[in-house]
Each structure stands twice: as C-alpha cells, then as structure tokens.
A and B are shown apart, each in its own frame.
Chain A
Amino acid sequence: MTDATSQTGLPGAQPRKSLHAADARTRRRNASEARFRFFGAAAIAISILALIVLLTSVLGNGLSAFRQTFITMPVALDAKVLDKSGTGDIEVMKKVTTIGYAKVIEKALTAALAEKGIATDGLDAKQISGLLSQEAAASLRNQVLADPSMVGQTVDVKLLANGRVDGFFKGRVTMDSAKLDSNISPEQLELALKMREAGLMSVSFNSGFLFGGDASELRPEAAGLGVAILGSAYMMLIVLVLALPIGVAASIYLEEFAPKNKWTDLIEVNISNLAAVPSIVFGILGLAIFINFMGLPQSAPIVGGLVLTLMTLPTIIIATRAALKAVPPSIRDAALGIGASKMQAITHHVLPLAMPGILTGTIIGLAQALGETAPLLLIGMVAFVREFPGAPPEGFFDPASALPVQVYNFTQRADPAFVERASGAIIVLLVFLLLMNAVAILLRRRFERRW
C-alpha cells in the first residue's frame, strides 16, 4: 500500500528536480490562485466604482439646482395700475391679477435695458419679457400684497429668469438647441449674455428650491421642495410616534415575557416575513384598508405615515430584540435578587441599557422609511401639490408630497430642466439620510456598551 503511493505519486506529476524552480502544476495552481484573488479584488473595485459613478452622476446633475439665474432690476410699482382705488385697501389690490403685474415688469425691464444702453434690435417686447419666468409676475404680486406700502415706489426686485435662460448659463441649452426651440431664440440668449455683462442678470443661490412649493410643468425654474420636505417630516413624525413605542413594546414581550410555544413562533416567523414583503404590497394594503375602507383622504401624510409605520415595525422590532438580547442576564438577576418584579427589572434596568441600540435601530428604520417611494405612489402622493399642508394635527390630513415621490414626479415631466431638479432633490434626500445615519453611528459609538 505504502509502496504503491510512494512510487507512482500523483498522476501526471513529474519527479521534482528542485524546490526553487516551480513545476508546471505548481505554476498552474499559483496562477489560478492569483486569478481568483484578482477576481475578488475586481468585485470590490466594481462595487466601489458603481458607488462613485452613482454619486457623481447624481451630484453632477443636481448641484446646479441649488443655483438659479435671477434678473435684478428696479421696478416702478405704478400706483395707478396696482392700486386703482388709491386707498391701499388690500381687497381692492387683490383684484389686480398677475397679468397686470406682468405689464409692470415688462415696462421695468425695457426701461432697465434702455438705461444700461443694451440694444434690443429684432426683439419685440414679448420676446424680451420672455427672458423672465412666468412665475415672476406672481412672485412680485405676492411681495406687493405682503407689503402694500411698496406701491408707488421704485424698488429693486430679484425675479426668476426663464428656465431656458437658466439652462443656457448652466450649459444645458446651447445656441444650436435654441434654434430648434419654440420657447427661446438665439437672439434672446444673446440679449441674456449682454444683460449678464451689464449686471442685470446673475446666477446665485436659490432658496426657493429648498423652501418653495412645486410649480407647473412649464415653470421648472420655480419648482421647489418645500411641500415635499414638510410632508416627509410629517410622515417621519408619525412613524416615530407610532412605530417606536409599538415596536419596543412588541420586542419586550417577545424577548422577555413570551412563553416559547407555537403561537409566539408564529408571531416571530410573521415578523421576519414582513421584513421581506415587497414595499409595494404595503402600498396596496394602505390603499385598500386606510383609504378605501376607512375613508382617510388620499395624498395625506397620515396615510403615508401609517403605511410607513407598518413597514418600519419589523426593522425596529428586530433591532430592539437584538439590543435587549445584548444586555447580560446578570443585570436582570441582580435586579430580581434585590426584590424587583420582572417588569421593574426590565423597565428600570434592561430597557435603559438597551436604549442606545434601540434608538440606533429606530433611526436606521426611519432612514429606510424616508427613502421609500413605491407604497406612497399607490396612496396618491404623486398628486401635484402646491399648497403647504397646515400645522399638525390637522395638517396630517391635508394633501402633501414626499421627497422621494417628488423626485419621481419631476422625472415624469417633459422639460429637461426637471432632471436637474430631480437630482437636486436626491441630493437633499441623501443629505438627510447621511445626517440620520451619522446620528445613528454617533449614538452607537458613544453610548453602546460592550459587555
């Protein structure tokens, strides 16, 4: 037996000459080892590359959404046009529509161009005022109605420029594309360039993007995220208020009190399955139960909050149970030993010690809920909402949007300017997620104890 193996060796193996010179088989094995290692490194490289491409694509498209082209010029607010009664009565002034204000702006723009000595050959008044956003008149009207004493004076106002002009300065619109565009002409863009040199037009930080409401399809320059951010905040509030106590209570029961029997097994299997149910199914649940059956309003943060609560519960329960499990039994035993009841041992000692872990899990669950889109589409959050929802609790029932849904909404619109808006909204969303995760990491680093 031993003779046989020592004589033949492995099939195909040649008698070795030196240990320093690798034979063919060793070389093959080493090459395969190197190859395998290379594949592993390549897999890591691919994942990281994907992350980098993803982030640069979003950042590259979206950062420009935070800057916007504005036209700053003196506007003479003619009392004869804007306040016909001359009494400053706000009700009378409200009767002047945006069309009236558009005329005032048009006049002011022509005057400003003449003053700076910018030639406007070949452009009629309509084309010149076309450089301004259609939203400009409405925003001026709001300013005046907020402060009626402005009427009769000449004030410097900052008005949004048209989305195409904005796109021109950001490189999205070119002279060539303007030739084919019915909304803008190359001559208008020439004028915009001159206005920029004269200091009438400038690109600056756009607070309207963060705090304003959504705008219609024709006015991408005025579209903002204010309603979406507020709606998302309302929903997160509802999720936090409902999911945290319910999740913690359920976990305490399952981890500390529940007897081991078929019934609790069923609950546990249930929870782990719920964590893996596709999110859109929760949307169907919300639509069928909360809207159709209970008659709650569509697009309301309350419905979104309830659906997201049900979705977040499994995450919170799983995290809380892990945190409770991590508290060593000696703590419980010590409390019980000095006469505390089981409930006291848990509420006075185990729960406070598990709190950092619970909060970390909750924040991660909230971050997931914040980015969730699909279920919200089904409960009507895609609707176009311009008005801000009211203050809670009544505001929970008002229509609102949500950040991720707003992104989806922007991508469904035809104007390419909305791609920039959608990417900008994603940046806002990612910043919120980053903050939440940073808080979670901080909590874990600072307070979590290793036993």
Chain B
Amino acid sequence: MSIGLITLIVLGLAVLGFILGRQRALSAVKGDPRTLHSLPGYYGWSVFLFTAVPALLLLVTWAFVQPIALNSHVSAMVPEADVASYGSTQLVMADVRRIADGLDAVARKAGLDEVGLEAMRADLTDMRGRLAEVGVALGSNVVPSVLDAAKEYRSLSGELRLAMSIAVLLAAVAGLLFALWRINPKQRARNLVEQFTLVLLAGCSLIAVATTFGIVFSLVIESVHFFKLYDFRDFFFSMTWNPQFRGGSDLGLWPLVWGTLYVSFIALLVSVPVGLMAAIYLSEYAGKKVRAFAKPAIEILAGIPTIVYGLFALITVGPFLRDWFAQPLGLGSSSSSVMTAGLVMGIMLIPFVSSLSDDIINAVPQSMRDGSFGLGATQSETVKQVILPAALPGIVGAILLAASRAIGETMIVVMGAGAAAKLDLNPFEAMTTVTVKIVSQLTGDTEFASPETLVAFALGLTLFCFTLALNVVALVIVRKYREQYE
C-alpha cells in the first residue's frame, strides 16, 4: 500500500471515529446533550484526534527510520573486500538500491516469479546485461555479495512496507477503540481535545527548529565526509579551484569567495546609494502623487523572481556591457562578467534596501526633525546631519542584510557571472561564486562519494555560516536601534 492510500484510510477511520464518538456520547445520555460535560462534538473530536494523530505520527517516523535501519542491515551483508572495490559504503548502497529497483523490472520483463528471482546468481547470469535491458545502467559488473544484498534489500523493504501498513492501521484502530471506550458523560472531552490541540500546535512550531537542525545536520555530516577525503588545509588555504572528475582536483575556497565578495560589493555599490536615496526622497520630499506611484513601482521590483533577473543579465545587460564597455575599453570579450551580475543584483536589491531604510528613517522621531528645522537647517541638512546619524545603526543593519542576500543569491550569478574561478581585479572578466559552484557540482549525474561532489556541502556550510553571521549581527543591530526610539 502506498503512503498516500494509508493516509487516506487513516483519515477515513478518523472521520468514522468522529461520528461514532459523537453518537456514543449522545446515546449515553439518551440524546440529551445538557447532561454531558462538553458539547457532543468534542467527544467526536477526541476520537478523531486519538485515531489520526498517533497513526500518522507513526507513519512519518517509520518513513524516516526505515531507510536507516535497512541501510545499516544490508550494508553489513557486503564484505569489506567488496566495499573496497567500490570505494565506499555509500556507493555500494547506491548500487544495491539501483539493482533492487532493477530486479522488479527484470522480473516483469522475463515473467519470473519470486522463486526465479531468488535463483538468479551473479556468477552465472549476466546481471549487468539483463539490468541494462530494463534501463538500469551499472558502472561495473555485479558482485555476488552485492546481488545478494540487493535481493535482501528488495524483500526486506517489501516486508517492511507491509509491516508499516499493518502497524499504522493497527495504531489507528487501537486509538479509535481506546477513545470510544473512554467516552462517558462525565469525561472532560473539551479539556482533553484542547490539551491535545495545544500539543499539536506546539509541535508545529517545532518544525522551524527541525528545519534548522536538518540544514545544519545535513551540511555538517556531508562536510565531514568531504574533509575525510580532502584535506581541509587545501580547501581553506589553496588559491586554485580546478575540479577534475578523474580525481586529483584542486578545490581551493578562495577564488570562489573572491568572486562572491566582488559581485556582492558591486551589487551593494549600486543598491545602497540608490535604495537609500530613494527611501529618503520618498519619506522626506515626495508629494502624495509621486509616492503613490513610485512606491508600488519599486515594490514590483521586489516581487520579480530572481530567474527573471538572471535572464535579464544573460540576454540584455551582459551583451550591452560587452559591446559598449568591455570591448571598446579592451577589458574583455565575455558577456558574463562580475559587472553584469553585480549590476543586475544591485537592481534586485534596490527595493530591499529602500524598504528597510524607509522603515528605519520613519522610526526617527519627528521631534528630532522639528528641532533641526527650528534651528534653521534646510531639509537636506536635516537629513544629512540629524536623521542619517540617528538612523545609522539601522541602516548599517539593512546593508548587512542586503549583503547577506547578495552573497546567497544564486540564479543571477549562475546566469550572469560565468563559471571560471579566477582571482582577478578586472570587473569585466567572468568569475564565479560559491553558489554557482554549489549548483554546478550538484546538478547532473553525481556520485556521492567523490570529493568533487561533496565539496558542494562544504561550500554550502561556508555559505550558511557566513550569511547566518551577517543576519544575526544585522538583526541584533536593528533590534537595538528600534528599542532606542520606542
């Protein structure tokens, strides 16, 4: 049974439970709801919750735990010697899973039954050829122990799937019967349901924490794998990035960090003055009409997906910069360049900077403006000498947030900055960033045991730490600043 079907059955049982529970409560008092502790619906809800929630929780947990248990059991079946020929346990397991999937297709094609499948032996039949016929391509011939592991994997996962269906349905039915049995007119059904709901609500709020945990967990685990295969000193201190899928690659972090910082720097150079001035103009100078038109227009820029900016960089800005600036000035002939990506990213960040600065400028108390005007300062002098200094911490926070956006931005740099990892000062040269390399190392057919793929996780960890630090500092600054004027 598929997970979707089980979920539907459980929900159906729960609805049935609701109806039964309500009826049972009513019939216990001979149809007079006044003698019940709670409204009849609450008795129904208590059965509903007891039926659905434990069963669905079991389902989710099972779906998480089954792969781990299965992997550790099956990978133990393959002897060390065979693992060594593959390179790592992970690779073996990838093959085991592929063969296990392939076996189903083979059986269907050849009309074999379970016994026939069991009888297949790697040293007698050409497993690789037969699997290739059904569209499962393998890198090497099938080792007997791996085939056995695959058979075991296949039969075990089938059994476990069945066991899961039974366990989940049993849990649902048990919950249903238990809750039904507990119903009596004195039962405090409303309190029970409310307590239960509260726990559910709190559980949902934990998902955010679980997500962060999942991110850190997956990044750290795979990064540790990477640093086992590749010396961390080479990663952190090498100045060359030159991945080779045959091995022996240089995976130095610095060319990527340089590209990232260079692009972000140009983006901030564009977005901070424009965004800040736009915010100042809108909040201090603009009349009602201009505001009503300009503010939504700038906000539209914020709603445009980054892929659109990426395409804009690729087909408009890149060729324009190349034909009008780079080539006439003799600075390069590439349409994807740091300048292209930086400019377009700057445009993307304008609304971000301007809306944050707008909030911050508006938070400066009117009394400070009035004081300045009262001393005879012009509007621009008030802005420059009173409002901006007062808002400075908030603006610094906004710039840091914008910087963290720029560093983590992917599509614009993938389509606009190029793929060559270089340490160069020329802004019309194609360079690459951390995010571009994460995408290029993880897309396409990837093997999860080579340092060339795993490096993406180390890069992701670097990126995550960097942006997290920027965000935390920015949020602390902004919060401190807000408190100052509240």
- Is the Cβ of A57 less than 8 Å from the Cβ of B315? yes
- Is the Cβ of B316 less than 8 Å from the Cβ of A253? no
Chain B min CB distance to A286 (Å)? 9
Chain B min CB distance to A302 (Å)? 10
Among B207, B280, B381, B464, residue most surrounded by chain A Cβ atoms (within 10 Å): B207
Residue B125 at the chain A interface, CB threshold 8 Å? no
A250: which of B204, B276, B383, B475 is its contact (CB, 8 Å)? B204
CA distance A280 to B218 in the complex (A): 13
Chain A min CB distance to B216 (Å)? 10
- Is the Cβ of B410 less than 8 Å from the Cβ of A278? yes
- Is the Cβ of B439 less than 8 Å from the Cβ of A272? no
Assuming the contacts A50-B350, A288-B222, A289-B218, asked whether A378 and B201 have C-beta atoms less than 8 A apart, the reply is no
With a cutoff of 8 Å between Cβ atoms, the chain A residues found around residue B300 in the complex are 51
- Is the Cβ of A394 less than 8 Å from the Cβ of B2? yes
Residue A72 at the chain B interface, CB threshold 8 Å? no
With a cutoff of 8 Å between Cβ atoms, the chain B residues found around residue A266 in the complex are 209
- Is the Cβ of A279 less than 8 Å from the Cβ of B208? no
With a cutoff of 8 Å between Cβ atoms, the chain B residues found around residue A419 in the complex are 315
Which stretch of A36-44, A90-98, A133-141, A169-177 is in the interface?
Answer: A36-44
With a cutoff of 8 Å between Cβ atoms, the chain A residues found around residue B380 in the complex are 32-33, 35-37
**In the complex, residue of chain B having the shortest beta-carbon distance to the beta carbon of A310:** B211
- Is the Cβ of B401 less than 8 Å from the Cβ of A276? yes
Chain B min CB distance to A220 (Å)? 15
- Is the Cβ of A343 less than 8 Å from the Cβ of B194? yes
Give 1 or 0 for each of A1-37: 1 = CB within 8 Å of chain B CB: 0000000000000000000000000000110110111
B311: which of A33, A58, A293, A294 is its contact (CB, 8 Å)? A58
A33: which of B298, B378, B409, B448 is its contact (CB, 8 Å)? B378
Which stretch of A116-124, A208-216, A367-375 is in the interface?
Answer: A367-375
Chain A min CB distance to B283 (Å)? 10
- Is the Cβ of B278 less than 8 Å from the Cβ of A43? yes
- Is the Cβ of B311 less than 8 Å from the Cβ of A411? yes
Chain B min CB distance to A444 (Å)? 13
B463: which of A33, A39, A278, A371 is its contact (CB, 8 Å)? A278
Chain B min CB distance to A114 (Å)? 42
Assuming the contacts A46-B274, A253-B201, A272-B475, asked whether A267 and B285 have C-beta atoms less than 8 A apart, the reply is no
- Is the Cβ of A246 less than 8 Å from the Cβ of B303? no
CA distance A423 to B439 in the complex (A): 22
Which stretch of A149-157, A188-196, A429-437 is in the interface?
Answer: A429-437
**In the complex, residue of chain B having the shortest beta-carbon distance to the beta carbon of A404:** B307
CA distance A51 to B415 in the complex (A): 19
Chain B min CB distance to A316 (Å)? 11
Residue A329 at the chain B interface, CB threshold 8 Å? no
With a cutoff of 8 Å between Cβ atoms, the chain A residues found around residue B467 in the complex are 276-278
With a cutoff of 8 Å between Cβ atoms, the chain A residues found around residue B63 in the complex are 294
Residue A313 at the chain B interface, CB threshold 8 Å? yes
Residue A85 at the chain B interface, CB threshold 8 Å? no
Interface hits, A278-294 → B, CB 8 Å: 278-285, 287-289, 292-294
With a cutoff of 8 Å between Cβ atoms, the chain A residues found around residue B227 in the complex are none
Chain A min CB distance to B261 (Å)? 15
Residue B351 at the chain A interface, CB threshold 8 Å? yes
Give 1 or 0 for each of A157-181: 1 = CB within 8 Å of chain B CB: 0000000000000000000000000
- Is the Cβ of A281 less than 8 Å from the Cβ of B463? yes
Give 1 or 0 for each of B187-222: 1 = CB within 8 Å of chain A CB: 000100010011011101111110110110011011
With a cutoff of 8 Å between Cβ atoms, the chain A residues found around residue B405 in the complex are 276
Residue A359 at the chain B interface, CB threshold 8 Å? no
CA distance A34 to B222 in the complex (A): 57
Q: How large is the interface on B (under 10, 10 to 19, 20 to 34, 35 or more residues)?
A: 35 or more
Chain A min CB distance to B349 (Å)? 11
- Is the Cβ of B351 less than 8 Å from the Cβ of A274? no
With a cutoff of 8 Å between Cβ atoms, the chain A residues found around residue B415 in the complex are 408, 411
- Is the Cβ of A382 less than 8 Å from the Cβ of B443? yes
Interface hits, A30-85 → B, CB 8 Å: 30, 32-33, 35-37, 39-44, 46-48, 50-51, 53-54, 57-58, 61
- Is the Cβ of A279 less than 8 Å from the Cβ of B350? no
Residue A132 at the chain B interface, CB threshold 8 Å? no
Among A41, A252, A276, residue most surrounded by chain B Cβ atoms (within 10 Å): A276
- Is the Cβ of A29 less than 8 Å from the Cβ of B381? yes
Interface hits, B157-207 → A, CB 8 Å: 190, 194, 197-198, 200-202, 204-207
Residue B435 at the chain A interface, CB threshold 8 Å? yes
- Is the Cβ of A250 less than 8 Å from the Cβ of B201? yes
Among B211, B314, B315, residue most surrounded by chain A Cβ atoms (within 10 Å): B211
Which residues of B are at the interface with A, using a C-beta cutoff of 8 A?
A: 2, 4, 63-64, 67-68, 97, 190, 194, 197-198, 200-202, 204-209, 211-212, 214-215, 218-219, 221-222, 273-278, 280-282, 284-286, 290, 294, 297-298, 300-301, 303-312, 314-316, 347, 350-351, 354, 378-381, 383-384, 401, 404-405, 407-411, 414-415, 435, 438-439, 442-443, 448, 456-457, 460, 463-464, 467-468, 471-472, 475
Which residues of A are at the interface with B, using a C-beta cutoff of 8 A?
A: 29-30, 32-33, 35-37, 39-44, 46-48, 50-51, 53-54, 57-58, 61, 245-247, 249-250, 252-254, 257-258, 266-267, 269-274, 276-285, 287-289, 292-295, 310, 313-314, 317, 341-343, 367-368, 370-374, 377-378, 380, 382, 393-394, 404, 407-408, 411, 419, 422-423, 426, 429-430, 433, 437
Q: List 22 A-B contacts (CB under 8 A).
A: A32-B378, A37-B281, A37-B380, A43-B281, A47-B301, A47-B350, A48-B297, A51-B300, A250-B205, A258-B205, A273-B468, A276-B471, A278-B407, A278-B410, A279-B408, A279-B410, A285-B214, A294-B64, A295-B97, A374-B410, A382-B443, A411-B311
Closest 6 pairs (CB-CB, A-B): A278-B408, A371-B305, A40-B281, A288-B218, A43-B277, A36-B380
- Beyond contacts A247-B204, A404-B305: 14 other A-B pairs, Cβ-Cβ < 8 A, are A41-B281, A43-B273, A48-B294, A54-B304, A273-B468, A280-B410, A284-B218, A285-B218, A288-B222, A310-B207, A382-B443, A393-B2, A408-B414, A429-B308
